[in-house]
Copies of this chain bind each other. A is one copy, B any other.
């Protein structure tokens, strides 16, 4: 409603002064500042973000693109991003890519139209047109051969630790439910699994690896495949909690008790992992903190800082619950 002119008139100053009071209060006398602030209060004036943005060539929006909005792990990351963005005066513009390059590109194009200032990507895909100096931060995923700042965990080490937990329980035949292997992150987790096996002098058996798509359904069918093997595993390490939950269901359908007949380790630490039956042992990622750190990095880039020379690697931690137990065979 009220624009800057109204406020200026009410305060008996020029519009420039009103603007200064709001943007750079220090350069204004306390007397006039108070006068203006009172007028702002009285008129209920709110600066027009579009006009301000046009002038400054900034929208103060950050686009966050996620492959699938209903993924609970990503929800935590988004929550972390929103928290920091809100505190710092930025808005979160949420987009779902659905693993569709066109959708991703549409959202990425918002930078060129000044709809948004920066882009945070939660999946494993990059926009097809990637200017070298577009403000871009990756959360969770990363690309070893590209210089894009990323916030993530050490997936190899985390997967290795998760597998070692199973090995320490005496398991020798450990299955793997992997994520899509076109993701660096999935390959890392598979490699961590292999590294742990190697250190225990257990031969890597490709037949014990089933690829899923991170979601419950694919975990269910991956586990079904593994249990239908002539010599099924006594334990399985899943690269996501969702897939692990699907695996739990498959185990039940096969009449296998967890952990007596089959141990299951998940990855992510989503909220529901604690309410499965049995509660899931899982490698907990600090997803909210990953989001927060990604937002902080993005904002520091937008404010003129240099992107971090290297990725920020946050700690993950194994949370042992009841889905894992000593090997019986």
Contacts and interface: CB of A to CB of B under 8 A. Distances in A.
25 contacts: A1-B112, A44-B112, A46-B112, A47-B113, A48-B54, A48-B114, A49-B59, A50-B54, A50-B57, A61-B91, A69-B75, A70-B271, A72-B75, A79-B96, A82-B94, A82-B95, A83-B96, A86-B106, A91-B93, A92-B94, A216-B271, A216-B272, A216-B275, A252-B277, A272-B272
Name the prevailing secondary structure of the A interface residues: helix
Contacts of A76: 69-70
A272 B244 CA distance: 12
A86 to B, nearest CB: 7
A44 B70 CA distance: 34
Given A50-B50, A61-B91, A70-B75, 5 more contacts: A82-B94, A93-B94, A216-B272, A245-B275, A275-B276
A232 to B, nearest CB: 20
A103 interface: yes
A47 B112 CA distance: 9
Interface of A: 1, 44, 46-51, 53-54, 57, 59, 61, 69-70, 72, 75-76, 78-79, 82-83, 86, 91-96, 103, 106, 109-110, 112-115, 216, 245-246, 248-249, 252, 271-272, 275-277
Kindly report how many copies of this chain are found in the complex they form together.
2
- Nearest first, the 7 A-B pairs at minimum CB distance are A277-B277, A69-B79, A50-B54, A50-B53, A46-B113, A94-B94, A49-B115
A72 B70 contact: yes
A78 B75 CA distance: 11
A113 B48 contact: yes
A92 B248 CA distance: 36
Q: In this complex, which of A75, A271, A275 has the most chain B Cβ atoms within 10 angstroms of its Cβ?
A: A275
Contacts of A79: 69-70, 96
Contact of A50 (B59, B86, B246, B272): B59
B91 A115 contact: yes
A216 B272 CA distance: 9
Contacts of A103: 86
